[in-house]
Amino acid sequence: MGIGGCIILIGVGAIITFATDWHAKGVNMDLLGLIMMAVGVIGLAAYVSIFKRRRVPPTSEGDIPPVVEERYYPSDRRY
């Protein structure tokens, strides 16, 4: 679930909680909306924390690993 899905969950949960007066037998609609908003907020926080960790640019020359070049010499045969 990405940012869009989380925002949709938050929005639909807020609409169910605050903007409707629906009543369903056996289902508390206010609680359902609050649960949807909580899941959306938790998902958004998890997505942002993962995205932030993945997109950290190197800050100095020491953060970049050295380039390793491998060379193959066909005359160097070890049997």
Q: What is the pLDDT of residues 40-68, one digit of tens each?
A: 999 999 988 887 666 556 566 666 676 78
In whole angstroms, give the CA distance from residue 63 to residue 79: 40
pLDDT of the residue at 18: 93
- Residue 30, pLDDT above cutoff 80: yes
Flag whether the pTM goes above 0.85.
no
DSSP symbol at 75: T
Question: What phi, psi does 73 have (nearest 5°)?
Answer: -110, 110
pLDDT of the residue at 23: 86
What the block records as the tokens of 70 is 């491998």
In whole angstroms, give the CA distance from residue 42 to residue 6: 8
36 or 53: which leads in pLDDT: 36
CB count within 10 Å of CB 4 equals: 8
What the block records as the tokens of 36 is 């949807």
Give domain limits for the chain: 3-54
